[in-house]
Amino acid sequence: MGISEELFAAANRRGESIKAAFPAAVAVRYDRSAKRLVISLSSGVDISFSPKQAQGLEAARPADLAGAQISPSGLGVHFPKLDADLYIPALMEGFLGSRRWMAAQNGRAGGKASSEAKSVAARANGLRGGRPKKTAPVTAEG
């Protein structure tokens, strides 16, 4: 089963739009003194972070980070010794990992989750005056 010319052209257009939206990586190195991975972008911006903060690199030793390779598109970095990859657009979108992974790391997403059922319940409680007021316990006089 082959890919049609139309699908191939559409994929190329999507790739070009992504490349236009995100600067490409032009260099990658591990700064041993700062214990940080540094990715230099074509825009002149350097992204610097601890490997422990990046999905797939959490347990990496400095030697594991040596030999990192920039993908031909410039949108990815591959770490051959770890068989791990960082995709620059996703890295910037999720701040060093996918949104789900970052939520698990930071523990922030749980209480902020919203659903139609939660919204309906909140509106119903609001119609009843919101949360009930705390009252002092009733004691029997004797």
Amino acid sitting at position 30: Y
**pTM passes above 0.95:** no
Q: Which domains does the chain have, with CATH numbers?
A: 5-117 (3.30.2020.40)
- Determine the Cα–Cα distance for residues 67 and 82; give it in Å rounded to an integer: 10
Mean pLDDT of 46-75: 91
- Determine the Cα–Cα distance for residues 29 and 41; give it in Å rounded to an integer: 12
- Determine the Cα–Cα distance for residues 114 and 22; give it in Å rounded to an integer: 30
Q: What pLDDT does residue 103 have?
A: 63
Q: What pLDDT does residue 124 have?
A: 81
**Token reading at 62:** 């400095």
Amino acid sitting at position 13: R
Mean pLDDT of 132-142: 69
Is the sign of the CA dihedral 33, 38, 42, 44 positive or negative?
negative
The residue count for the chain = 142
Q: Listing from the earlier edge strand, what are the strands of the sheet with 69-70?
A: 69-70, 76-79, 84-87
Q: What pLDDT does residue 37 have?
A: 94
Could you report the per-residue pLDDT of 61-98, keeping only the tens digit for each?
Answer: 999 998 999 999 899 999 999 999 998 888 777 665 66
Mean pLDDT of 99-119: 63
Mean pLDDT of 91-117: 63
